[in-house]
Amino acid sequence: MNTNDLFVYDCPAYPLPHIAGKDSEFVATVYLTSRCNMNCAACYLSAGSGGPELGTDQWKHIIAALHGAGARHIYFLGGEPTLSPHLPALVKFSRELGLSPSLSTNGLAASSGIAEKLAESGIENVQVSIDAPDEIVNDALRGSGSFRMASKAAREFSKIGLPVNISMTVSDRNFDSVAAMIELADELGAVGINFIAVQSFGNAEINHLMLSYKNARAAIEQMLAYRGRLRVTANGFRFYLKANEFSKASTAVTCPAGKSYIVVGMDGKVYGCDLLMVKGIVAGNALAEDMQFIIENRFSDLEERRLARFSPCSSCRFSSSCQGGCPARALNAFNTIYAADPLCTMN
Ligand code: SF4
Ligand code: SF4
């Protein structure tokens, strides 16, 4: 691997690199539910028990509005999105509109027998979350039985011909398993594997699930050493790169929030991205307002931040490509988006 292939996009939330390569088309993530059958240590949402959810017709209205506003990919997320009874109908509806639908699952899809149904509905990509190649380590991070459930799901989706990507959240608890995880993804028939650096939000923050610079470097070295058939991508590792790698990595735009990425929460509220949703930064309501209007008018602060006119970014040699890093991390650390990414080690 080289850094350009590996670091296609730095954002820890944007799902497109691992579902569709380097493309920068407009992606919308929709959170169908916050219910989840697991309670993962690294879950940025602290998903679990759930709350009021929208019906099929409300979601169809939102998905049509996202399509009308330019979205080309729709990514179904939760909680565990396969717990939503609306999922197959919404996948089918998305395909009929011309959207490319993808899904992230902890594996429940296979054990609940809806893998075939989702394939028939037209799902195009499936991302399965596994956090370690070792069942004991994985289940300690993701919940009892999750390793078997996820492995079974990956095999089943692959067998019916759907492209499967494995997703691993990398922390100090599993960084040394990156190479073995690539081997596991290969064995499971996946087309790719995506490594996401743990973000200190939700459960990960509560559980103090960190990724030290040293361990992140060890994870990156394992990724770069890979020479096989799988597409390997990494999200959220930019500030663990060395300066020479940092300037070469093809992360042309660091933050896609509100520009080529948008998120709709389970109650229809619109956000720039998943982490801004966790921080409660609402841009609008997809059921009450025009989606195009929201996109054109409610993200000017993020647009302003991309100019990186704050210290030390304004005088940084990387500012045109880095753009100050992640605004959600800045907000989480400093209570303002107009501050440098707290992970930045370049200055
Ligand atoms: S604020 Fe931007 S860079 Fe940070 S997680 Fe959201 S979309 Fe990604
Ligand atoms: S100082 Fe700002 S622009 Fe420069 S690398 Fe750090 S976060 Fe990015």
pLDDT bracket for residue 251 (50, 70, 90):
low
88 Cβ contact list (under 8 Å, min separation 6): 114, 117, 118, 120, 121
Task: Tally the residues of the chain.
Answer: 347
pLDDT number for residue 4: 64
Alpha-carbon Rg for the chain in angstroms: 19
Residue closest via CA to ligand 2's atom 7 equals 324
pLDDT in tens, 14-30: 876 666 554 568 899 99
Residue 144, class by beta-carbon neighbours within 10 Å (0-12 exposed, 13-18 middle, 19+ buried)?
exposed
pLDDT bracket for residue 107 (50, 70, 90):
confident
Compute, in angstroms, the gap from residue 298 CA to the centroid of ligand 1: 16
Ligand that comes closest to the CA of residue 261: 1
List, in sequence order, every residue forming a beta bridge with 127; answer none if it has no partner.
104, 165
Contact 155, 113 (CB under 8 A): no
pLDDT number for residue 108: 77
pLDDT bracket for residue 274 (50, 70, 90):
very high
> CA-to-CA distance for 28 and 67, rounded, in angstroms?
9
Question: Is the pLDDT confidence value at 253 over 70?
Answer: no
pLDDT in tens, 185-244: 999 999 999 999 999 888 888 888 899 999 999 999 999 999 999 999 888 888 888 877
Which residues form ligand 2's pocket by a CB distance below 6 Å? 308, 312-313, 316, 318-319, 322, 324-325, 340-341, 344, 346-347
Q: What is the pTM of this model?
A: 0.93
Contact 292, 68 (CB under 8 A): yes
pLDDT in tens, 144-164: 999 999 999 999 999 999 999
pLDDT number for residue 48: 60
Residue closest via CA to ligand 1's atom 4 equals 326
